[in-house]
DNA sequence: CTGCCAACATACCAACCAGCATGTAGCGTA
DNA sequence: TACGCTACATGCTGGTTGGTATGTTGGCAG
């Protein structure tokens, strides 16, 4: 301690004077953590890499978060959850035709070429951490449940208004849709070929059309 | 070096005299590596843990494999690939009704309660390593391709024999089936609830039945 | 102008990591 | 019985990890 002081005095190297904006610092940390977790997984994303990517020092990190685990939890709740909500839940609120709405969402998944779909980040983290850490699992399950419930709900409403076939079980169909999206996301990520996700979207859309109530088909 | 020699002579601790069966040692390493990679991912699976699980020392590991990466590659080629082949390729060879055969395979996926399905190990590794390491990606893609091709092939034959609807594209359907299986595997792994995989199997089977050619429906 | 505290910055640490250098036991061979 | 080589066993190391202890500064209250 004394040595450190003396050294600091002897060699007054320029200190990194930073933002002094705690909210912004926290947000930068979350975004950087999200990026690095997406790149290499939670366990393999090193704090030093995250900090470098965020342009933030370790002291700032541990001022805002108790530890790496807490940072991961915050990424789920404050980055991934809003993203899934924005992609899959909010667009379904107060729509006329649920099938059309779902098709529209699915087709929009291809616009982001690199990160095949935001849902994949959810899937990545779930695959990696759910068996290892109950805290991750619970938080991720909440997102999955919201996704499934929003989809099932809109399908139920569609059944009431006669847009959706009565013999589909909304909860089952919602689960199947999510499984398809996640599954194709995996395949596309592995193939690293946008053609895979395009083909997947085509197939998912075809399946979604098959849910439409007879006499309610739009085209063809 | 000299110190080590002297110490060894001074304190002749019992040396671990092991198998002396190189094939078996190698196999134990592969199995242990497969287990640990399944548990915590390739990057986070430490060699020491793998070695402890295998009951093998580090010298033996580095005698049989150049490095950790090579061990991972070997797990793909000598553990995962045969597993997928045994589950999804061989059962499809010379079957009468492809739909029945696929349904049978899918329904058998539920018998293993803990590790939801062997395909998930494939999916896990693909999700984790494909974006990071081309060697992993290529080897995993070979497995995916074989899986998809075997499925597509059996569907094509089914179309010739009139068991499968002519308006399904075998390659597309095969891809969709794989996506469904992997997707439900993900959901089940995250939910950690066998009910999820049961529901998934039910839905996949329902979809498979929809591929059957008209006039060829078995029951109902 | 001064104290004080939030918001960091820096230096450091023990634990762990993959990998390597070196030693050696057992078995086949002559 | 001696030799040699395969198949390991063991000890070590430099680098990295998450985490902490302590120093420092901008800005605001008084």
pLDDT per residue as tens, chain A (220 positions): 333 333 333 334 445 666 678 899 999 999 999 999 999 999 999 999 999 999 999 999 999 999 999 999 999 999 999 999 999 999 999 899 999 999 999 999 887 765 554 458 999 999 999 999 999 999 999 999 999 999 999 999 999 999 999 999 999 999 999 999 999 999 998 998 888 989 999 999 999 999 999 976 554 4
Indicate the residue of A144, A172, A210 with minimum beta-carbon distance to B190.
A144
CB atoms A44 and B43 under 8 Å: yes
Residue A62 confidence (pLDDT): 98
Å from A186 to nearest chain B CA?
A: 6
Å between B48 CA and C17 C1'? 9
Indicate the residue of A41, A123, A141 with minimum beta-carbon distance to B191.
A141
Q: How far apart are CA A165 and CA A28, in angstroms?
A: 46
Residue B193 confidence (pLDDT): 85
Chain A interface mutation, best of B38, B72, B186, highest count of A Cβ atoms under 10 Å? B186
Nucleotide nearest to A18 (CA to C1'): C8
Does the nearest atom of strand C lie within 7 Å of A19's Cβ?
Answer: yes
Nucleotide nearest to A58 (CA to C1'): C9
The domains of chain B, with CATH numbers, are: 17-65 (1.10.10), 68-220 (1.10.357.10)
Report, in ranges, which bases of strand D sit under 7 Å from a protein C-beta.
6-12, 16-27
Q: Given pLDDT bands bounded at 50, 70 and 90, which one contains residue B114?
A: low
Quote the ipTM score.
0.89
Query: Across chain B, what does the average pLDDT equal?
Result: 88
Residue B4 confidence (pLDDT): 35
Q: Which of A 112-151 have CB under 7 A of nucleic chain D?
A: none
Share of chain B above pLDDT 70, in %: 85
């Amino acid at each position: 301690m004394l040595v450190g002081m003396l050294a600091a005095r002897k060699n007054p190297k320029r200190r990194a004077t930073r933002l002094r904006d705690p909210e912004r610092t926290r947000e930068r940390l979350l975004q950087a953590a999200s990026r690095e977790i997406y790149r290499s997984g939670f366990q393999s994303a090193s704090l030093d890499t995250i900090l470098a990517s965020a342009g933030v020092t370790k002291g700032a990190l541990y001022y805002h978060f108790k530890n790496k685990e807490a940072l991961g939890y915050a990424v789920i709740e404050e980055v991934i959850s809003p993203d899934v909500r924005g992609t899959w839940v909010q667009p379904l609120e107060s729509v006329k035709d649920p099938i059309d709405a779902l098709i529209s969402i699915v087709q929009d998944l291809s616009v982001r070429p690199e990160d095949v779909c935001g849902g994949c980040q959810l899937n990545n983290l779930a695959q990696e951490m759910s068996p290892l850490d109950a805290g991750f699992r619970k938080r991720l399950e909440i997102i999955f449940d919201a996704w499934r419930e929003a989809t099932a709900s809109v399908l139920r409403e569609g059944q009431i208004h006669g847009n959706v076939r009565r013999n589909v079980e909304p909860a089952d169909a919602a689960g199947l849709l999510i499984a398809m999206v996640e599954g194709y996301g995996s395949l596309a990520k592995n193939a690293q070929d946008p053609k895979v996700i395009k083909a997947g979207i085509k197939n998912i859309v075809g399946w979604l059309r098959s849910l439409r109530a007879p006499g309610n088909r739009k085209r063809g």
